[in-house]
Amino acid sequence: MKKLIVSLLIILFPAHSFSQDIDRQKLQSLLDEYPIGNGPGISISVVKNGKELYSHYEGFANLELRVPISDSSKFVVGSISKQFTAFSILLLESQGKLSIEDDITHYLPELSGLNHTISIKHFMNHTSGFRGNYDLIRLKGQVDNDIMAQDEMVDLLLRQSALNFKPGTRFQYCNAGYVLLAEIVERVSGMRFTDFTQQFIFEPLQMENSLFLDYTDQIVKNRAGSYKKYSKEYGSIPYNSSIKGSTGLHSTVSDLGLWAQNFQNMTVGNTVLFEKMRTKSRLNSGDSIPYTLGQEVKTYKGLDVVFHGGGDAGFRSYLVRVPGQHFSVAISGNFESFNPLNLAYGLIDVFLSDEIVELEIRDAVVYKNKDLQQWVGEYQIFPGLYIIIEAEGDTLYFKSYGSEDKQALPVLGENIFEFKGRAHSKFVFFGDSLNWHFSDFSYPGKKVELVPYENENLNEYIGMYNSSELETSYRFVLKDDGLIATHGLQPDIKLQSIAKDTFITDTGFLGRLAFKRNAQGELIGCDISAQSSYDIAFRKME
């Protein structure tokens, strides 16, 4: 009974601490945007000049056992892991064991069949053109909560024989590159990635509650559970992965604060290393991109900030640093609907109120219907993913292709419209293109013309198609007068014809199918494209 009372007190009166005078009413108002109640919760640490200004722990780390979140609760911090992977590569470079300009095939000779040269740096700044690993495993029939080991993932990636685009020509966020960077760390150092990060990063920085996993069933002391919300109850989201490099770091917000401090005091690393981590990368064209090496940079209310978010299973995390003020915010939550962005930047507003510069309020931009017509049309975001922009009256609207549901896009500025479906999201239009800023991500879109197409002979597509790269097969069959993709580990997927020999579906991992013919006009296979994996060859079996 005593333990139950203590747990309830922590939920009703969340743990927090202050070490400076701040606008507590504004802080409480910020926290009130995230009602936790009697469910999973959040963990926050705010650090300035090496001292923790504020901490906050609210909700349960484990709903079944009613274990409250505390300063020792470990969360999977998702893509924040990439900072540690990039740092590990740069440590090896500082030791003279590699150069980030090296061709990856020096260390991963299995990829020597690729049609372009990829450098280690291309992996680090997401300009490699490499296919996305999550699309690949979904095409194989696996889902997010299936057991997935690092060796299995690396083996799949090393079988890839083509890229999405020529390295260095564009930015496309790629988890696969960071999985392979972890493999390079192991091959060059002769150590397991888990041991390398433990010896050269976590131990020197006294990050005693941080680790990567070697095994999917590894026991982690004080690990928080991962949850999703149904109408009234919560459900558990299993985390069965030992994937490292792109994700996989288990850590506390206090440990992430120690990591952030290292960028100021350089306990581990040197000036050259840190300069590389904070310098914007450039494409072959010379254009800069906001991603550096494992981090992103931008300006927020006059402050230069460095940041990265992370999400895996139901875990959501965010780490933002303000180097000029030696300030950082680390946030973790264990429920999938949690979006930490408003909280992270709201805490900057609270604790750095004297340093921020509020944006100048300008006269509102007003568009009439005739002005909006320039952006009306259909846009391809990914292969198979199309959106529709419409104008009714003096308002611009967004629709998903094939849906009648639409969402108004309020004007934010010149050529900029707010997307209310996600916090910190907007559309920016230019010419016949757009950028869909989706929280911290940005997806380019190009205006296309989709003409309804009636395919008169679906029978010729029937058959079994196999991919040697994925070691999996799809069978196409006719059902209810439509073409259906079937797979032993997938539900049936309906194909929609949009052009001769070209189909799309409403699944991201089987976005577009382009059937191929030989000189005699006979079908010999198809190329399947997904959100971040293009033109994966499937051969038609006899």
Please provide the DSSP assignment of 322-363 as one string: EGGGTEEEEEEESBTT---HHHHHHHHHHHTTTT--PPPP-P
pLDDT of residue 142: 87
Which of these CATH numbers, 3.40.1190.20, 3.60.20.10, 3.40.710.10, 3.40.50.970, describes 76-351?
Answer: 3.40.710.10
Instruction: Give residue 16's pLDDT.
Output: 53
C-alpha count within 13 angstroms, C-beta hemisphere, residue 189: 23
| CA atoms within 13 Å, Cβ hemisphere of 291 | 24
Please, where in the chain does CATH 2.40.128.50 lie?
Answer: 458-540
Superfamily of domain 369-448: Pab87 octamerisation domain (2.40.128.210)
Residues of the chain with CATH 2.40.128.210: 369-448
* Domain 458-540 falls under CATH 2.40.340.10: no
Chain center to CA of 458: 37
Other C-beta atoms closer than 10 Å to the C-beta of 444 total: 15
Q: Distance (Å, rounded) from C-alpha 436 to C-alpha 443? A: 5
Segments of the chain scoring below 70 in pLDDT: 1-21, 360-362
Give ranges for CATH 3.40.710.10 in the chain. 76-351
Q: What is the pLDDT of residue 416?
A: 96
Q: CA–CA separation, 357 vs 353, rounded Å? A: 9
Half-sphere exposure of 367 (CA within 13 A, CB side): 22
Contact 466, 139 (CB under 8 A): no
Neighbours of 319 (CB within 10 A): 27
Q: Amino acid identity of 197?
A: T
Q: Taking the complete model, does pTM exceed 0.85, yes or no?
A: yes
**SS3 of residue 168 by DSSP:** coil
Instruction: Assess contact for 297 and 288: CB atoms under 8 A.
Output: no
